[in-house]
Chain A
Amino acid sequence: MALIEMPPGRDLTDALVERVLAAANARTPLRIAGGDTKRFYGRPVAGETLALAGHHGVVRYDPAELVITARGGTLLADVEALLARHGQRLPFEPPSFGSLATLGGTVAAGLAGPARVARGPVRDYVLGARLLTGDGRVLKFGGEVMKNVAGYDVSRLLAGSLGTLGVLLEVSLKVLPVARGTRTLRRHIAAQGALELLGAAAQRGLPLTGSFWSKGELYVRLEGCPTGLDELVPTIGGELLDEPAAASLWHGIREQTHTYFTSARPLWRLSLPATATATAAGVALVPADRVAFEWNGAQAWINGVERQTIDPITRAAGGHATLFRRDDTAVGETSEVFAPLPAPLLDLHRAVKRVFDPAGILNPGRMYANL
């Protein structure tokens, strides 16, 4: 139980501050890039690239604290490998979308993988951050402790902010131990039946840490102590996958290399109330092979259809849609990526943006126009 000795990495804070200050003075927009693996996500940003990859290194890690602090440009893969060596992991199972993904980019994108259904989103695990603002200030918010109510929780505000509020120089994340055991089941079942089964399992408190339905196949992942899992397996039913097959399946879902995700564009992500009726009402509006869902139905994917098909679904089911991956062959695609905000809420977003980036040079327009 102690701090783990780490190589020093590289701290480019001074150079980054200088670069941001120069850009602020010249009103030059900056496109913040970690590993540039999520460039497809969000609205396109026209600006000079501010590369974070050289600003890397784990600053502090003590497994007994369940906290890791690393510079924004640290490779996600390096962080995950380090945690794995100590029997721990990032609880939200973030997608990397490429080997160069960074920890800063992971937090800024705010994307979570299959385990989000059980363990919650990225923002739940952000404990602290060191932030470089758009006017060159280096600010420290939060810290490395689990409970901290001193000051506004700016570090959680940064989760999913897509670099619009500042450059993540350093983040502290809560981590958790890996499960003692895991089982993955495959069942042939229609969407409605799958949603009902998942809803009932969640309500009974089963340790369901991943669910994925596509083309009439439901995959369910359970985690916990092995003896308990063996008792639970029959309550879900279906066929047990061996460990390599299961690992490869969940990796494919998390990284969107599974055939569902590569088959058609555009790819829409729908955030829906987790009820069988809601999700089923939505998915009934498109051909079944265009639909997949995760998180017990709270996250649905629809591919190969245009916005006019999506809007009635979110209207019928509640929730909202994101244009997750555009159709790159479509010429002159300029449509919005994220669901529109009511005017007073968008005004508040812009006011908050001005607090951190008064000149509006950091990833301008990545999330919404004029933000």
Chain B
Amino acid sequence: MAIDAGLLRELGLVLGPGLLSTPAACVAYECDALTAHRHPPDLVALPTSIEQVQQIVRICRRNSVPVVARGSGTGLSGGALPVAGGLLLVLSRLDEILEVDPRRGLARVQPGVTNLAVSEAAAPHGMYYAPDPSSQVACSVGGNVAENSGGVHCLKYGLTVHNVLAVKLVTMDGELLTLGSETGEAPGLNLLGAVIGSEGLLGIVVEVTVRLLPLPRRVELLLAAFDDVGRCAEAVGQVIAAGIIPAGLEMMDAPAIKAAEAFAGCGYPLDAQALLLCEVDGLPADVDDELGRARALLEAAGATSVRVARDAGERQRMWSGRKSAFPAVGRLAPDYYCMDGTIPRRHLADVLAQIAALSTAYRLDVANVFHAGDGNLHPLILFDAGRDGELQRAERFGADILEACVAAGGTVTGEHGVGVEKLGPMCSQFGAAELATFHALKLAFDPAGLLNPGKAVPTLARCADYGALRVHGGRLPHSHLPRF
């Protein structure tokens, strides 16, 4: 589809200076945080109102121009990668917090508002927005909805899908629909649940109503060291089986511990083979009770040391190593490849052992730093793309890890999304009938197939190839952001 002058004129009338069409202006939007994939957009639209969004998609629909929505561009799977001949709909100027109401326990925001800004606006009322993806200072709420973003507190507080009450969605026909409701109950099918995590393929999210929670009265953090990765993994299951639901339960292996300590100086024991960070929060009496029981369990599970952060400062320091683990590991090798599989927790020790064996077989180092409580793995495969064949080895290694996750009853992506990156691995998780149903569901929302085409769900023909996330030179875009 060629971008003709008539289309430019039509869009220009709607957007004025909010339309970018020169290569020099558009190139800034050529990728999201999956920088291995780049494609400069032909057109960039920066709408400032819902009406503009509706007008833009109507024009695009009429002219058969694909539309890719973009928030802050911090996504890790290429969901906001521009498509050829398409328009990139950048929602970052829709950045107003429309309402914060502590009494109803909700905030209504435009999609370009950053995740952290919601919690900051709620803080004076003693409340916050629970999902906390690591990029929360920059990532947008609209993007969180598209990706169903998680964070370190999912086990207790859920993902985006558990914390969004309603969205306003512009369909590719330009209709404005409200899905869900502020009461948390809406008549009809749970289409909101299908839209959250749909990676911009079903509609454009133009307003989000999120649930706010009271800030926990008390927070405590335990740091447990283990001399064996398997024992640490077993301890994770034992804490949960004992009826404790920690706010966060994070694990790191020896390479990750060493890298994080060197990077952040956070006081981790360097002789440990594995570390567990266990955060409990809530009312003081409940926190005391859970902290005591978790501590006893971890000691009984063979922890070589268990330490409780003395105060908020030490707690932050102990978290800082975990939160800076991605950039820290990024310093160990010229490139790394981050995986995002999730498995049932009972297979943690087994899958970690498989990853270690694969590491030996592929002659590539790997560091593990992940959301153990959710079974959400983030193995970081270290390699040097400058060396012959290493990239291909890393990709095969990564694919094997995802196969192991699927074989263990898990998924190829826990929170980073499929985007363009995991189209291949999707083929090992879903059969042809399920993939065909996904495509049909998309067409129910978007009959012309113009919204973010080619992402999230592989065509059956595509099911032979595997994509890859490569981080060149140890650098992610937005490298100042912690990544976990």
**Which residues of A are at the interface with B, using a C-beta cutoff of 8 A?**
1-3, 62-67, 87, 110, 120-121, 123-124, 133, 137-141, 143-154, 156-161, 164-165, 176-178, 180, 199, 202-207, 224-225, 227-229, 231-232, 271-275, 298-299, 318-320, 322, 338-342, 344-346, 348-349, 351-352, 354-356, 367-368
Contacts and interface: CB of A to CB of B under 8 A. Distances in A.
Interface residues of B, number: 94
Given A63-B241, A204-B214, A225-B289, A272 B183 contact: yes
A225 B244 CA distance: 11
Contact of B285 (A147, A228, A322, A354): A228
Contacts of A207: 282-283, 286
A280 to B, nearest CB: 13
A146 B285 contact: no
Given A64-B346, A153-B197, A348-B445, A271 B188 contact: no
Contacts of B240: 64-66
A147 B182 contact: no
A229 B456 CA distance: 47
Contacts of A2: 346
Contacts of A348: 171, 177, 191, 444-445
Given A139-B434, A150-B426, A159-B193, 5 more contacts: A65-B346, A145-B376, A147-B159, A177-B245, A348-B445
B286 A145 contact: no
- Which 7 interchain pairs have the tightest Cβ spacing? A228-B285, A205-B214, A156-B193, A177-B243, A147-B414, A351-B444, A64-B241
Contacts of A354: 444
Contacts of B162: 120, 124
Contacts of B416: 149
A41 to B, nearest CB: 13
A205 B105 CA distance: 11
B362 interface: no
B70 interface: no
A67 B344 contact: yes
Contacts of A151: 418, 426, 429-430, 434, 438, 456-457
B36 interface: no
B189 A147 contact: no
16 contacts: A64-B241, A67-B344, A123-B193, A147-B342, A149-B414, A149-B416, A150-B418, A153-B196, A156-B190, A160-B190, A228-B286, A271-B185, A274-B183, A275-B103, A322-B187, A348-B191
A3 B422 CA distance: 30
Contacts, number: 259
B191 A298 contact: no
Contact of A203 (B102, B154, B411): B102
B451 to A, nearest CB: 13
A344 B438 contact: no
B219 to A, nearest CB: 13
B218 to A, nearest CB: 11
B155 interface: yes
Contacts of A272: 183
B7 interface: no
Interface string B214-256: 1111000000000000000010011011011100000000000
Contact of A147 (B103, B241, B284, B371): B371
Interface string B67-100: 0000000000000000000000000000000000
B415 to A, nearest CB: 5
Nearest to A351: B444
Contact of A165 (B189, B283, B345): B189
A319 to B, nearest CB: 5
A121 B185 contact: yes
Interface string B411-454: 11111111000100010011101100110111011000000000
Contacts of B415: 147, 149
B186 interface: yes
B441 A352 contact: yes
Contact of A154 (B150, B217, B286, B441): B441
Contact of A149 (B148, B244, B440, B444): B148
Nearest to B430: A151
Determine which residue in A150, A203, A271, A338 has the highest number of CB atoms from chain B within 10 A of its CB, and name it: A150
Nearest to A66: B240
A239 to B, nearest CB: 22
Determine which residue in A124, A147, A232, A299 has the highest number of CB atoms from chain B within 10 A of its CB, and name it: A147
Contacts of A137: 433, 437
Contact of B194 (A121, A157, A160, A204): A157
Contact of B154 (A121, A146, A178): A146
Nearest to A338: B187
Nearest to B183: A271
B181 interface: yes
Contacts of B171: 344, 348
Given A145-B375, A151-B426, A271 B105 contact: no
A123 to B, nearest CB: 5
B185 A352 contact: no
B375 A176 contact: no
B184 interface: yes
Interface in B6-29: none
A159 B184 CA distance: 14
B147 interface: yes
Interface in B201-223: 202, 213-217
Contacts of B158: 120, 124
A272 to B, nearest CB: 6
B310 interface: no
Contact of A139 (B155, B234, B288, B437): B437
A340 to B, nearest CB: 8
Given A154-B437, A344-B175, A65 B283 contact: no
B105 A203 contact: yes
B396 to A, nearest CB: 20
Determine which residue in B179, B186, B213, B413 has the highest number of CB atoms from chain A within 10 A of its CB, and name it: B186
B198 interface: yes
B325 interface: no
B335 interface: no
B111 to A, nearest CB: 18
Nearest to A345: B177
